[in-house]
Structure 1
Amino acid sequence: MIFREARKSDIKQIQIVRNSVTENTLSNPDLITDEDCLDFITKRGKGWVCEIDNKIVGFAIADIKEHNIWALFVHPDFEKKGIGRHLHDLMLDWYFNQTSHNVWLGTSPKTRAEKFYRKSGWKEVGTHGKGEIKFEMTLETWNYKIRERNSIKNQF
């Protein structure tokens, strides 16, 4: 498993992962263009990928301009292997090294993603879009999560 920053040449595989998920699916896959993805990983923020055998199996993208998480997805064949957690942590570490501004995201209710974000310390702050739950993460909460994570690592 290789985790690294996303680059332009990854976009086609990022789109494959995005369109393979079974939850939080796009109503119209054409709504997210390759140009949108390029803009988010080069101008609006940054992205990361997880690569296994030269194949992208997960990705995450943070939007520093709008202070939100634009994407965090793992191909269904590679779920429950810690890939989403690692991408999430890389992304938030980077984000909070750029700004102390709260970051938000939206996700569908009653999904594994909702449970993941709650467990990760995100706080529900309302709704977004078409019935999505809007979550927010603060720098203070993230710093607490980092201390908690490091404390657990130091126990072993």
Structure 2
Amino acid sequence: MIRPAAEADIPELMRIRAAVQENRLSDPARVPASAYLDFLTFSRIWLFEDEGGILGFTAADPRDGSIWALFTDPAAEGRGIGKALLLHALDDLRSTGWEEARLSTAPGTRADAFYRRQGWQPSHMTEGGEQGFTKAL
């Protein structure tokens, strides 16, 4: 089931983000609970949940047309959770008037390959050395 996250879900979202090995922001101090809470004041965080608990989450930032987060618990990878969640984030951007979504991720990672398979187009390299992507909405 996919549903909007609530404040009480934040510790589990942080656990999932920290569990993703290729994530350079896996240090919880770099994305504290307050960042999630702040995000919930102007947008939604979508999460995927089953009887075993929360298995992934995503969020789009309507202020700049970007994907703020997309993480799947490593124990639940390969089940289509990320793909299903990403559709919700893209719908959020589309509903706020964006015609193109953007994001960046480390080049050569599983995330890089995932976004390419989902039709995202490489656009630029960021100053921080990440691969930028865009996707028409």
Corresponding position of 2:40: 41
Deviation string, structure 1 residues 82-115 (Cα, Å, up to 9, x no partner):
1001001111122212213422111011111111
Matched ranges for 1:2-151 at <5 A: 2-26=1-25, 28-43=27-42, 45-53=43-51, 55-139=53-137
Q: In angstroms, what is the RMSD of aligned CA positions?
A: 1.5
Once residues 22 and 72 of structure 2 are traced to their aligned partners in structure 1, the CA distance between those partners, rounded to angstroms, is 11
Unmatched runs of 5 consecutive residues or more in structure 2: none
Structure 1 unmatched ranges of 5 or more:
140-156
Q: Normalized against structure 1, the TM-score is what?
A: 0.82
Letter of the 2:105 counterpart: T
Residues 128 and 134, structure 1, Cα contact 8 Å, conserved in 2: yes
Tell me the number of residue pairs that the alignment of Structure 1 and Structure 2 aligns: 137
Shift of residue 54 of structure 1? Answer: 5.5
Residues 62 and 92 in structure 2, CA contact (< 8 A), matched pair in contact too: no
CA radius of gyration, larger in: 1
Which sits farther off after the overlay, 46-55 or 13-22?
A: 46-55
Letter in 1 for 2:79: K
Structure 1 runs (4+) deviating above 4 angstroms are none
Q: Whole-Å Cα distance in 1 between the matches of residues 75 and 27 of structure 2?
A: 22
Question: What is the TM-score when the length of structure 2 is the normalising length?
Answer: 0.92
The CA distance in 2 between the partners of 1:74 and 1:27, in whole Å, is: 13
What is the rounded CA distance, in whole Å, between the counterparts of 2:48 and 2:26 in structure 1?
25
Q: Is the 8 A contact 1:104 1:134 kept in 2?
A: yes
Percent identical pairs in the alignment equals: 36
